[in-house]
Amino acid sequence: MRIAITGASGNVGTALLTQLAADSCPHEIVGIVRRVPDPVPPYDTVDWHAVDLADADARSHLDQALVGVDAVVHLAWGFQPSRDVDYLERTGVGGSAAVLTAADAAGVAHLVHMSSVGAYSRAPRGHRVGESWGTGGIPSLAYSRHKVSVERMLDAYENGGGRMVVARLRPGLIVQRVVASALLRYGVPPWVPSSFLRHVPVLPLDRRLTVPLVHTRDVAGAVVRVLTSRSVGAFNLAGEPPITRDDIAEALSARPVHLPAPALRIAADLAWRARLQPVDPGWLDLAYSVPLLDTGRARSELGWAPTVDARDALREVVEGLGDAAAAPSPALRPRSVARQLGRLVRSGPIGDRRLP
């Protein structure tokens, strides 16, 4: 099978390349990324195409990359700059439109789109939802609004008689050790060393926090199963058990302190507006309203089940954060305070600038 993967050098893409390389059936892989990684495993057997999906000419580059492709796995997405919502929309929504149109024109048979739990509408605390739950998102967060826009785009394509079969994966938070440096770059002030996370004394969070989380390797395994069976429709993906505030505190060896979500939201918003931290406060709205996930459909139709306990996955990524763990790709490159401060001086805060 000839498979094109957008975002193939990122968190899920790297795990997916590793699993496809180990598959008993050989595959030809086309990688579509903004920055091509060095030819080291698992990136050394990929036909790379450098395409920025936010660019106006992305479609023409995709037309070339998708010649002869049987399936497209669309993973590419943007998380920063959080204050340049237009750029994030061009990347997420515009880029998805370019991928969908180019794949259809190229005669691709199967599209696998990485959606998110963030596409779901609010749910009662602790409520598990199936794939039929509404996908109205969380309006205060651009990431969620854009994931919803792509869901509507795929609805229109399928209802309009599109030729490709489409699968949508809706995972919880996806983590593994080597994503740590990327998470630090996107979510931690540049002057904070990674080692600080080994010495967090208290964790001020609302005790009601409960979120779905899944190991990256398990998400990649689900993608392989979807490709192999040419599955259609939406599939929830989450590890067990759901992660609570106390689980996070335990992983950090910190003492949990109850801070009501509205108070934390105000503090995060003020810090974001003052450029003291780079994370859109809408992520807190998502964290406190996101539903838990019923993964019954993935288990019954794909034969999928998470192989990593969610608490073990959390501990793995927290340990990675303390070590600034990374992988040999531009998207997962090592993070250092010196380089971050250099970028801050030259180009401004990450929330305001285009990523290199």
3-state secondary structure of 7: coil
Residue 23 region, left (φ>0) first, then alpha (ψ -120 to 50), else beta?
A: beta
Mean pLDDT of 331-349: 82
Q: Is the pLDDT of residue 284 over 90?
A: yes
* CA nearest to 326, candidates 7, 5, 14: 14
Q: Which CATH superfamily is domain 2-171+215-237 in?
A: NAD(P)-binding Rossmann-like Domain (3.40.50.720)
Q: Please, where are the H alpha helices in 66-173?
A: 85-89, 95-105, 142-159
Amino acid at 104: D
Locate 216 and state its tokens.
Answer: 């990256």
Mean pLDDT of 317-328: 96
Q: Which helix (H) or strand (E) holds 237?
A: strand 233-237
Is the alpha carbon torsion for 135, 292, 124, 118 positive or negative? negative
Q: Is the pLDDT of residue 126 over 90?
A: no
Query: Which residues fall within 8 angstroms of residue 153, CB to CB, at 6 or more apart?
Result: 93, 96, 97, 100
Mean pLDDT of 99-112: 98
Q: Is the pLDDT of residue 355 over 60?
A: no
Locate 32 and state its tokens.
Answer: 């579509």
Measured in whole angstroms, how far is the alpha carbon of residue 54 from the centre of its chain? Answer: 17
What's the start-to-end Cα distance of the chain, in Å?
Answer: 32
Mean pLDDT of 52-61: 94
* CA nearest to 279, candidates 184, 207, 203, 348: 184
Contact 140, 101 (CB under 8 A): no
CA–CA distance, 348 with 239 (Å, rounded to integer): 37
Mean pLDDT of 303-321: 98
Q: Is the pLDDT of residue 344 over 80?
A: no
Q: Is the pLDDT of residue 354 over 70?
A: no
Q: Mind listing the pLDDT tens digit for each residue in 6-43?
A: 999 999 999 999 999 988 678 999 999 999 999 999 99
Q: Is the pLDDT of residue 356 over 60?
A: no
CATH 3.40.50.720 boundaries in the chain:
2-171+215-237
Q: Is the pLDDT of residue 249 over 70?
A: yes
Q: Which pLDDT score is estimated for 342?
A: 80
Residue 7 region, left (φ>0) first, then alpha (ψ -120 to 50), else beta?
A: left
Confidence of residue 353 (pLDDT cuts 50, 70, 90): low
**CA torsion angle 290 292 294 298 (round to 10):** 70
Helix, strand, coil tally for the chain in percent (to 5): 45, 15, 40
CA–CA distance, 154 with 166 (Å, rounded to integer): 8
What is the residue-wise DSSP string for 241-283?
A: SPEEHHHHHHHHT-EEEE--HHHHHHHHHHHHHTTS--S-THH
pTM: 0.95
Mean pLDDT of 59-67: 95
Confidence of residue 160 (pLDDT cuts 50, 70, 90): very high
Q: Which pLDDT score is estimated for 339?
A: 81
3-state secondary structure of 166: strand
Locate 173 and state its tokens.
Answer: 């938070």
